[in-house]
Amino acid sequence: MALRFTTSYLEDSLSLFRYYRTLSERAMEQVSDEQLFAVLDPEMNSIAVIAKHMAGNMLSRWSDFLTSDGEKPTRDRESEFQNPPQTREALMSYWNRGWKCVFDALDPLSDADLNRTVTIRGEAHSVMQAIGRQLAHYAYHSGQIVFLAKHFRSAEWKSLSIPRGQSQSFNARVAKGEASQR
């Protein structure tokens, strides 16, 4: 994932947040508007609902990150799983607001901030723990988005990493210094 060696947890975390954002967006770009809002069964979430939930979580967790509980009293988590924005444009606007909140909270921090204490749902976390918690959460949902998009696109799916059957040629290019994983 990381393209260069670092020893900064914060720098690596920011890189991973950007990676999962891009992974999700590249998957969402491949589906039609209809597929973006489709559900496989009544208990499943659509890609749009997952994206809405992620953005709602981001806005709650990262707004006033260092000074208020990450579960804001104004957040209605249950509503995140219903009635997503009605258009791709509205959904992506909300999605982008969520990601802006993440990066606005994290970009100004330094590794010296990682031991500070923040609260999520009344529980104390170090900044490092809070970042790890959200990275895991967003990776989980990004995987759901990719899974659903790949299901909907089927044979038309464009791989987001090394396409099936091309690992050996990729490894040969890496050995020659010609390939990047992104």
Contacts of 142 (CB under 8 A, 6+ apart): 20, 21, 23, 24, 27
Tokens of 4: 């260069």
pLDDT class for 182, splitting at 50, 70, 90? very low
Q: pLDDT of 69-84, one tens digit each?
A: 999 999 999 999 999 9
Per-residue pLDDT, 164: 80
Q: pLDDT of 27-82, one tens digit each?
A: 999 999 999 999 999 999 999 999 999 999 999 999 999 999 999 999 999 999 99
When the pLDDT of each residue in the chain is averaged and rounded to a whole number, the result is: 91
Q: pLDDT of 86-100, one tens digit each?
A: 999 999 999 999 999
Collapsing DSSP states into helix, strand and coil, what is residue 177? coil
Domains and CATH numbers, the chain: 9-175 (1.20.120.450)
Residue 2 has pLDDT above 90, yes or no: no
Q: What are the angstrom distances between the C-alpha of 167 and each of 3, 145, 146, 180?
A: 18, 23, 20, 13
Per-residue pLDDT, 4: 64
Q: pLDDT of 114-132, one tens digit each?
A: 999 999 999 999 999 999 9
